[in-house]
Amino acid sequence: MEPLLHGWTGLKPQTDAWVKLQHDYVERASALWTKAMREASTSEAATPVKLADRRFANPAWAASPSAAFTAELYLLNAQTLQRMADQVQGDAKARARLRFAVQQFVDASAPSNFLAFNPEAQQLALQSGGESLARGMQMLLADLQRGHVSQTDESAFEVGRNVATTEGAVVFENEFFQLLEYKPLTAQVHQRPFLLVPPCINKFYILDLQPENSLIRYAVAQGHRTFVLSWRNPDEHCANWRWDDYVEQAVIRAIHEVQAISGQDKINALGFCVGGTLLSTALAVLAARGEQAAASLTLLTTLLDFSDNGVLDIFVDEAAVKLRDITIGEQSPRGPGLLKGQELATTFSFLRPNDLVWNYVVGNYLKGEAPPAFDLLYWNGDATNLPGPMYCWYLRHTYLNNELCRPGALQVCGESLDLGAIEAPVYIYGSREDHIVPWDAAYRSTQILKGEKRFVMGASGHIAGVINPPAKGKRSHWLPGSKALPADPQAWLAQAKEQPGSWWTDWSKWLAGHAGPLKTAPRQYGDRQHPVIEAAPGRYVRQKA
């Protein structure tokens, strides 16, 4: 571990703690070795091994003394390295980077990832006469052509056929986005329309996977006249697009088109992840221009205060942002470029490498087992590009400088930005196990926005926590125990009340309270100035990175 610290500025070993760890390691490793040698040199039966780690849960690991020893020694080594990284003294970000690097090394070096050490994969190869390895090689070659590790059977899905199937039409488009309106499922709809702004780093149909888990269909079924902003997947012709363009030409334009179609001055709006950051920015720009466009605002796993964002913080510093500026940003000598979608997807996957990388390496290539069809993972692999200038602005002014939440610190679309100027009630949601937008980071928005606020926390992660339809009866959520929103997120959690099932029902009641009276549902999409361009989900969402 000590040589690993060379080149990591601001880090130094904690000698006394490391000496204690060394003694502990030698003692435990010696006990493992002694046990293995005793069982190998005598007729004594091998002591059954129970390994809690799911990578070694197959009986083949316990049945083979050498495999069990290898797994136990690996787990001991992994634990020791992680404990050593935890004991290093120094700058907080440097320590976090070291812990992340050690975790990546530990996960990548697991014996389960290698055919020579994986008894389960070896058994399958023998039982199948080598067919499992042949299938694994075929899948490896196919993934090399795709440029990513397959997490699902991608041939099982097609956008518009069995994902993104809620009936609707494109009623407006420009070079940045298409505006989709959905067919009402109720005889009456609320007076105020509902606009969803999904993240531009993904495609909108995470909100419309299958009918039974579609947040879009759920909103339509609750009597909301529902619109969705579908982002264009940028290509080389879009490389000059900036953050201001996304705000002005996409989000603000979508708001104004929905207002025009519905005849309503105020709309209900929802932003998911960076879509929520863009939506909040757009509403603040409009507020600076004297327009309060939102009757209500819903923010799902959204960052507005970027002061502490968990593992993603370790990737961002001045050097990293400068490097992006001179490679794909406005400072690039070759001109702006694109952040390729697959690069971003790979980064997110390696935040949870055992679940999203090595699990599939072992299953696909070593065992020759094709991953099952899973709509969410199909969406996860349907990558989107980002224009370099837009991405670099976002990194510098949010993750690096945290200026978005400071009134007057930024000029966006020619306006001095103040998120506190948004005059709308806000529903803020965070997921308890979210590794991209930690729930307490999402909670910090309660201290920035000035309208009436409600914060709710759901179980699970960034996606599974959000996409949790009530009919499934899964997971749980935490509702506020009082109207108080203390600065400390843990103080809020201490008084929150856990409820079984989905948070959607609580949100639906809240949204209905801001949606206005019911009226007869429209019989056609758009209006005379917004005729149908094509059927939903439109062609923009079908564009591949």
From CA 253, how far away is CA 352, in angstroms rounded? 36
Only one residue has tokens 């856990």, namely 498
Task: Return the ∠ at Cα 120 (arms to 118 and 122), rounded to 5°.
Answer: 70
Instruction: Please list the rounded mean pLDDT of every run of 10 residues in the chain (545 residues).
Output: 50 73 90 84 63 90 91 94 89 87 95 96 96 96 90 94 97 98 98 98 96 97 98 97 98 98 98 98 98 98 94 90 95 94 87 92 96 93 95 97 97 98 98 96 97 96 95 95 96 97 98 98 97 98 93
> Is-catalytic flag, 273?
yes
Residue 345: burial class (beta carbons within 10 Å; 0-12, 13-18, 19+): buried
Residue 337 near residue 297, CB atoms below 8 Å: no
Which one from 200, 273, 405, 413 is the annotated catalytic residue?
Answer: 273
DSSP notation for 121-170: HHHHHHHTTTHHHHHHHHHHHHHHHHTS---S-GGG--BTTTBS-S-EEE
Residue 540 near residue 178, CB atoms below 8 Å: yes
Residue 96 near residue 345, CB atoms below 8 Å: no
| pLDDT tens, residue by residue, 392-441 | 999 999 999 999 999 999 999 999 999 999 999 999 999 999 999 999 99
* Listed residue (419, 411, 415) closest to 393, CA to CA: 411
- The residue type found at 377 is L
First vs last Cα of the chain: how many Å apart?
Answer: 40
From CA 20, how far away is CA 17, in angstroms rounded? 5
Peptide bond into 3 cis (omega under 30): no
